[in-house]
A = this chain, B = another copy of it.
Amino acid sequence: MSQPHAPSPTRPPRFRVPLVLVALALAAPPVRAQDAEGAAVARWVEANRAELVDRLVEFLRIPNVAGDRPAIRRNVDWLVSAMEARGIRTRVLETDSEPMVYGELPAPGARTTLLFYCHYDGQPADPAAWTGHAPWDPVLRDGSLADGAGVIPWPADGGYRDDWRVYGRSASDDKSPIVMLLSALDALRAAGTPPDVNLKFLFEGNEEAGSPDMRSLIAGHGDLLRADLVVMADGPEHGSGRPTLVYGARGIVTTRLIVYGPERPLHSGHFGNWAPNPAMRLAALLASMKDRDGRVLVEGFYDDVAPLSDAERAALRAVPADAPTDYGFAAPEGWAGRLRLEATSLPSLNVRGMGAGWIGPETRTIVPDSAVAEIDLRLVPDIEPGAQVARLRRHVERQGYHLAAGPPTAHERASHPRLARLVDLRDGYPGMRTPMDHPVARRIARGVGRFTGAEPVHVPMLGGSVPAVWFPVEAGTPVLLVPTVNPDNNQHSPNENLRLGHFFDGIVTLAAVMRIGRPSS
């Protein structure tokens, strides 16, 4: 195996469709020495590529959409069997929907306990939208489909190359991290350096629907989540190819703003500039919410923001930056040169969708009856979701609107010249940050550095929101995200894939996390 994470001419970080945490690695990180333990694990991975891919593909062949009970049960059986074979004390925790698979593996004399969280369910998939194979019939390609790579046979000699990719549902999100964890355990044992911290595992079966069973799990089995730190192995590694540690995530709350006009669409000729136009009114309302530089004008919007620490501020400046032109625009909101992670460390008000009447070929020449803006409010510590929505509600009322509690009645329509509604879509959840100097997090950062020989990218807080992050936080446990898969993995989309170099490297990264028991590490 080549040096993991060290840039090399044969493994350029070329991602055609970068989705998350993507940037050019403008400044090469300091290359550190991979230590003996890490090198031994890497050698074992190198020697066992065929078996590791076989194991992954076997797991990917089991359909895993929540609600498909027989298939979900086969996933559970596969997990229980794989965990018990490794001496993990395993329990299946039934829930109101899909079971969670829980396991414990104590290390003799260890005083630190880590809980690894992953999910074994996957997004539903439309087979017709996939290229050349069904979502649960994985194939191998000698590169990225986006670059035109074709399907190749599984190699008889097991000679898998780093740039080859496995295509299949959950190849990245989130079955491969489960296989990485189990394989890391095998690798450490084979190298004679077994885990030296107590390990817990929680594999959820209904994450893609927003983890509906996590709250009742905490209520019923809160002790199972008890650990010094939860390690979430999910999501894509930084685009630089360096191992990545993420210390937090923004929260989110969503709402739908509806502005009402006439009770049905009216002919724009016979009624235009007499009947109030809800699209124009919505436009004025949205325009009142932000200034030209993107600063939110809703009163109190930034009041509860917990400032970043100096360490967090320094860390986000050290993350290789991405440029607006990579995404097809000339300048960010705010000031020129503003870093993306600076922007996403603040709460946001985003119009994720907007609609009124019809557009394109369906356009009708009418005054629309209503106009809708779908809004997401991203949250940072210490903003409460309900408080932020209440601020938005007051803002709309201050613009002269009556807010109806439901679809407006004839009486409300006749009484209020400006009529709107804010629909709360689902419970939001707050943002979280684990302090970057949390002692266990620091031990993990050092461990990953010595096992991989690369300086990790430290991301103080994801701009995105991960519902599953919040539940251990609610139970009082800090969380660290250790994402390992390639950014261009087509997560949630057709042609989801895993780059094998990331798979093999991820095993080394996660093995490092299991060897942080020594005080010196």
Contact = CB atoms under 8 A, between A and B. Distances in A.
Nearest to A417: B331
A269 B377 CA distance: 9
B20 A329 contact: no
Contacts of A276: 294, 329, 331-333
A383 B360 CA distance: 26
A283 B351 CA distance: 10
Interface residues of A, number: 90
Given A373-B279, A413-B330, A417-B330, A272 B354 contact: no
A371 B350 contact: no
Q: For the complex formed by this chain, how many copies does it contain in all?
A: 2
A263 B328 contact: yes
A369 B280 CA distance: 21
B368 A352 contact: yes
A376 B372 contact: no
A186 interface: no
Interface in A41-84: none
Given A287-B287, A351-B283, A327 B19 contact: no
A282 to B, nearest CB: 7
Interface of A: 19-21, 249-250, 252, 254, 256, 260-264, 266-277, 279-280, 282-290, 292, 294, 324-325, 327-334, 338, 340, 343-344, 346, 348-360, 363-369, 371-374, 376, 378, 410, 413-417, 419, 462-465
Given A330-B419, A355-B355, 16 more contacts: A19-B267, A252-B365, A256-B359, A270-B464, A272-B378, A272-B463, A273-B346, A274-B344, A276-B332, A277-B333, A283-B287, A283-B351, A352-B364, A354-B359, A358-B374, A365-B376
